[in-house]
Amino acid sequence: MVRLQKYLADAGVASRRAGEQIILAGRVTVNGEPIRQLGVKVDPLHDHVAVDGKAVRAKRKLYLALHKPRGCVCSKKDEFDRPTIYELLPKEWDNLNSVGRLDYETEGLIFLTNDGDFALRLTHPRYLVRKRYLVTVDGRVEAETLYKFTRGIYHDGEKLKAEKAHLLSSGKVRSVAELELTEGKNREVRRLFESEGMTVKRLQRLQIGKVRLGELKPGKWRTLTEPEIKSLLG
């Protein structure tokens, strides 16, 4: 059961606030009965909802996990005509939007959905959804550097911080580390290393919340399972 104004919003009729005004104006019927008060709930599968006499159906909500390849963008259109992640999806799913973004060179797990509440839940800093990254860096990275990242550093007037940072290997030619972040500021992982004069050669997002990239191949997608969706909305 969902509130009537949310049902109208999910169907693309109006925003929740505008939907409330439509209900109060008596323009909505449920199973033929006019509704003029807020708080009414409907069953999307069984109730018949109409606005101004026209049937309204909630859009099917979709939740996808995509392995974004390196060398494509998360915008629907790109001013430089670069490949986009939307070219990897069926054309009938052009109403989906990415949940956050990964930059052109970054690869790994990203979600797409037509559920605005789901997208907000995963991108707003107050929800502290953890995202895990595998980072390959030119040159040697010291454990002290990663510890510094977990305490937080300032870069271009903005505080950047990793919740966890673990060094997997360190050498003269390259180093590999895993970082967990919650805020998802623009290019945050790259900027952390740039603040120490280091260049990230490869960046891959391995996990969002409890959902892992796993064996999903670059350029491929899958639908999220019900338990995965619930864990992310937890």
Tokens 């990203």 locate to 110
pLDDT computed for residue 124 by the predictor: 87
- Contact at 8 Å (CB) between 68 and 106? yes
pLDDT computed for residue 166 by the predictor: 97
Section 155-175 average pLDDT:
95
Q: Tens digits of per-residue pLDDT, 178-221?
A: 999 998 889 999 999 999 999 999 999 999 999 999 999 999 99
Q: What percent of the chain has pLDDT over 70?
A: 100
Residue 32, token pair as written in the block: 């033929």
pLDDT above 80 for 58: no
pLDDT computed for residue 184 by the predictor: 80
- Helix (H) and strand (E) counts in the chain: 6, 17
If you average pLDDT over every residue of the chain, what do you get?
A: 94
Domains of the chain, first to last: 2-56 (3.10.290.10), 63-124+211-233 (3.30.70.580), 130-208 (3.30.2350.10)
pLDDT computed for residue 11 by the predictor: 84
- Contact at 8 Å (CB) between 196 and 145? yes
Task: For residue 44, count other CB atoms closer than 10 A to its CB.
Answer: 15
Give the whole-angstrom CA distance, residue 138 versus residue 82.
26
Section 86-97 average pLDDT:
90
pTM passes above 0.85: no
Task: For residue 43, count other CB atoms closer than 10 A to its CB.
Answer: 12
Give the whole-angstrom CA distance, residue 121 versus residue 17.
19
Q: Identify which of 49, 61, 60 has the alpha carbon closest to the alpha carbon of residue 19.
A: 49
Give the whole-angstrom CA distance, residue 57 versus residue 60.
9
103 catalytic per annotation: yes
pLDDT above 90 for 97: yes
Active-site choice (47, 103, 117, 138): 103
- Contact at 8 Å (CB) between 118 and 99? yes
Q: Percent helix, strand and coil across the chain, each rounded to 5? A: 25, 30, 45
